[in-house]
Each structure stands twice: as structure tokens, then as C-alpha cells.
Amino acid sequence: MSATNRFYAARLAGTTVFDPLGDAVGRVRDVVVLPRARSARAVGLVVEVPGKRRVFLPMTRITAIDIGQVIISGVLNVRRFEKRRAEQLVIGDLLDRVVTLTDGTGEATVEDVALDRSRHGDWDLARLHVRRLKRGRSLSKLMAGRGEQLTVTPSEVSGLFGSSAEQSAALLLASYEDLNAADMADIFQELDPKRRTELAAELSDDRLADVLEELPEDTRVELVTTLEASRAADVLEVMDPDDAADVVQELPDGVAQQLLGLMEPEEAEDVRRLLAYDEYTAGGLMTTEPLIVAPETPVAHCLAMISREELSPAHASVVHVCRSPLETPTGRMLGIVHFQHLLRERPDRPVGEIVDLDRQVLPPSAPLSEVTREMATYNLVSIPVCDEEGRLLGAVTVDDVLDHVLPEDWREQDEVVPTTTGQIDLGQIARGMGAQDHARTERTTNDTGSTENTEG
């Protein structure tokens, strides 16, 4: 992610931010951190773009931090930056803060903060450069610049992140930070609604989005409707479009339309496209953001795409080779290439030469029973969805299928009765889905082409 494994916040201020084409898009003004039990993790940078507008740049969008430059992937979201309740600004909040040294030798002021990159790719607050306050003088704090300089770890000071009350909220989040999203969702369900809302306010948008995907429908709706509308829209934007569509579909119509209106137009359009399909069809199940490449793309580039940490194994299992445009709906899809096939080819070979032409494709109207049957028959973890003209609309992955074929309350069940084989037989599920399709809630299509729930 970066050309260096450490940066200093005060020194990074004013650094130019460049897009992938080498064009300057802004300058770094601050670093946003999320306090943890013994330290803090950087979640993004505050970048000032032309017009003196300050926007948020997630750390996951940064490809390199080096002397005099920060390089990002894609483009900046120009929505004005607003600090979340649990977040701290290193320059705005932490520099010049008076902290107490835990060795009992007195107080010091923070002059700079060093952040190190961990082996997981996170940027953690690792060192504090502080200046000891003079002791025994009434104006000691004003004379801090004359004291001894020290380098300490965050655990060697207290009071870095504010009052005890402020730190207790951060510590609550820190006690859960190592849990995966599914386990965090279990914690959420055990909390009372007020505490649940407080914990949601402490989570980053990415983390909260992951948790929402794991919550039962009623809890998910309750939580989203308690968020500020702008925050809820931000969370929906970072979700995969199919997951965001699932959430929006569960909300009251007025709330759903309000949130779609607050989302970035491109993100909202993807969600609206999915809402036009019945939930229990290939179109309703698919993600509109599968991996798509042009036929002339080299194998090495495809391997770099599938190696991205944020991709789920199912999404990273294949790349879809299509004619331009390369965003859904694409030009004609030529075929797919499995990642194992990519590993066996030379890096410079164009992927168009190795496409699998004998692939399984579904129309968006295919019912859930057909989707599960095709995936079980051909042992697939992902299957493309194309229109009548052969354009790629999206892809259905096995995790989305399981979410829809398991009982609706499966997340709330305390125990699971094992099968004789210890495995889920997708073929058996598919054979039983025909009857279930008729029992699903009926849906009608309105004049705009979107779908509405009706009582059956």
C-alpha cells in the first residue's frame, strides 16, 4: 500500500495528493484516527481540494505514502468531511494536548505522532514525540517548549484521547475490534437498542456496513432508521450494491427514497437497478460489481485485481472478459477465466486468449431454484448474469445464495442440527426451492419499473 512503513502526522500536513494519472487533487490537512485499547488506528486523511473544501480520504484508497506525495486509487469523494463522534484528528485534537506520563514524572505536550504500518496493512499510532512540562512554576504549560523532548509509546501516557468518559466509549469499541463481522453482529443483538445505537455511532462506515449485512432484518431496519440520514447513506455507499439493495428493500418507502437521494448518484443508480428485480431471482441476488476486464488485459493485471484484500473469495474466484464498456451493463461478454487458470499462464499473456467459452450464464429473471440448481450442478461459487444481448449485468455468488435459501431466522438459532455428511447439499436445496418460490411474498411492478411488497 505504501512506499514507507512509517509516517509522521505533522510532517505529512501539506503533502500533495496525486491521482493514478499523476494529477494533483489536493493537499493533506490532517489524519483521522479511531482510538483503541492501547493505541489508535488511522482510518483516513482529511484532504483539502480546490475551493478550500475539506474531504475524507479512506486509508484503503491510498496506494503509496512517500516523501512529498500521497498517491491514491480512483477519484476523491468530494462530500465535505464531518468527524464522527469516536474519531480524533491527530493535528486538530492530539497535537499540543497535555498528557500525563505514567511513570509518575509529570506532564508533557504532544508535538508529533508517528504511525506505523502493521503486517495487516493497518496504520497504527506507534510513537508520540512529547516535550516535558517544566515543574514547579505557575506558568509551566506556557514554558513547555523549554522542556526535555521524549519519544514514548501511547501506553506510556494517559489523557491522550480526552476525558475518562470519552475514553470509555472508545474502549468499549476497542474491546470488540478483533471480532469478525458475524460475531460483532451477535454482540449487537445482545445489547439493548440504546446501547446498540451508541456502539454503531462508534464504528467506522466500513465496519458498520459489514455488521449490518450479518444482522436479522428487524434489527437491521431498527438500526438504520436510528442513524442520521447522512450517516446511513454513507454506510450504504460502502456496501456492495446487492447488500445495500437488500437493506433498502427492507426500509419504509419514505426512508428508502430519502437515503437513495442522499447517496452518490452512481452508487444510488446501482441500487435502484437491483431493486427493479424480484429479490428471489438472479437479478435480485447479483452484485453489479464483479471483476471485469477487457480481452487485451494481461494475466498479471488480473492476478493483481483478485489479490485485493477487500474482495471476498467468491468475488475473486473469476474475472469476466467483456467488450467495452467495462462497467455493468457491459459490452458483450466473451467469457470468464478462473483464478486457478490465471495462475497457470504466463503473466504477459492477454486474458482474451484463455477465456472459458463453455460457461454457465443466467438471465436476470431466473428464479432462485434455477440459480441454486445451476451452481450445485456445476460446482460454481459464482455465476454470471447476462441480458438477451449477452451483456454482463452482474454475478451471483454462493454466499448470497446461502443467505436466501437458509431459514430467515438462521442467525438467531442457538444450535444447528448437523447433517449426516456435515455439509449443505445445494442440489437438495435447489430441488426443494420450486415450491418455496410460489410461497414467497408476491411482488408487483410499479410504473417506474421498481418493485413493491404486497401482502399475499
Q: What is the pLDDT of residue 310?
A: 77
In this predicted model, which residue has the larger pLDDT, 176 or 316? Answer: 316
Give the integer Cα–Cα distance in Å for 315 and 306: 8
For residue 232, is pLDDT > 90?
yes
What digits encode the pLDDT tens for the residues 390-444? 999 999 999 888 877 776 655 555 443 343 334 444 444 444 444 444 333 333 3
CATH architecture assigned to 179-276: Alpha Horseshoe (1.25)
What digits encode the pLDDT tens for the residues 332-345? 999 999 999 999 99
In this predicted model, which residue has the larger pLDDT, 144 or 15? Answer: 15
Work out the average pLDDT over 20-43.
Answer: 88
Residue 31: band (very low, low, confident or very high) from pLDDT cuts 50, 70, 90 = very high
Q: What is the pLDDT of residue 87?
A: 84
Reduce the DSSP state of residue 355 to 3 states and report it: coil
Give the integer Cα–Cα distance in Å for 293 and 270: 19
In this predicted model, which residue has the larger pLDDT, 119 or 303? Answer: 303
Domain boundaries, the chain: 6-84, 92-161, 179-276, 292-405
Reduce the DSSP state of residue 108 to 3 states and report it: strand
At 324, give phi and psi (nearest 5°).
-65, 145
Mean pLDDT computed over every residue of the chain:
81
Query: Any idea which fold 6-84 has?
Result: SH3 type barrels. (2.30.30)
Q: What is the pLDDT of residue 409?
A: 59
Work out the average pLDDT over 217-235.
Answer: 90
In this predicted model, which residue has the larger pLDDT, 253 or 2? Answer: 253
At 343, give phi and psi (nearest 5°).
-65, -25
For residue 241, is pLDDT > 50?
yes
For residue 143, is pLDDT > 50?
no
The percent of residues in the chain predicted with pLDDT above 90, rounded, is 42
Give the integer Cα–Cα distance in Å for 381 and 399: 8
Which one, of 115, 111, 22, 118, lies nearest residue 70 by Cα? Answer: 22
Residue 451: band (very low, low, confident or very high) from pLDDT cuts 50, 70, 90 = very low
What digits encode the pLDDT tens for the residues 32-58? 998 876 688 999 999 989 887 889 999
What is this structure's pTM?
0.54
The percent of residues in the chain predicted with pLDDT above 70, rounded, is 81
| Amino acid at position 369, single letter | S
Q: Which residues of 2-33 are buried (b: 16+ CB within 10 A; e: fewer)?
A: beeeebebbebbebebbeeeeeebbbbbbbbb
Q: Which region among 88-97, 234-243, 370-379 has the lowest average model confidence (pLDDT)?
A: 88-97
Helix axes 265-275, 253-262, angle to 10 degrees: 140
What are the DSSP E strand ranges found in 6-144?
Answer: 6-8, 16-18, 24-35, 40-49, 53-58, 62-66, 69-72, 88-89, 98-101, 106-117, 123-132
Reduce the DSSP state of residue 218 to 3 states and report it: helix
The answer to whether 426 touches 376, Cβ cutoff 8 Å, is yes
Q: Which residues of 246-270 are buried (b: 16+ CB within 10 A; e: fewer)?
A: bbbbbbeeebbeebbebbeeebbeb
In this predicted model, which residue has the larger pLDDT, 115 or 86? Answer: 115
In this predicted model, which residue has the larger pLDDT, 444 or 71? Answer: 71
What digits encode the pLDDT tens for the residues 243-267? 899 899 989 999 999 999 999 998 8
**Is the four-CA dihedral 29, 53, 231, 65 of positive or negative sign?**
negative
Give the integer Cα–Cα distance in Å for 315 and 248: 22
Q: CB burial class (10 A; 0-12, 13-18, 19+) of residue 69?
A: middle
The answer to whether 248 touches 271, Cβ cutoff 8 Å, is yes
HSE-CB at 332 with a 13 A cutoff on CA atoms is 4
At 251, give phi and psi (nearest 5°).
-85, 155
Work out the average pLDDT over 321-331.
Answer: 94
What digits encode the pLDDT tens for the residues 94-103? 888 888 998 8
Q: What is the pLDDT of residue 337?
A: 95
DSSP secondary structure letters along 390-429: -BEEEEEEHHHHHHHHS-TTGGG-S--PPPSSSS--HHHH
What are the DSSP E strand ranges found in 232-330?
Answer: 292-293, 318-322
At 2, give phi and psi (nearest 5°).
-140, 155
Query: Any idea which fold 292-405 has?
Result: CBS-domain (3.10.580)
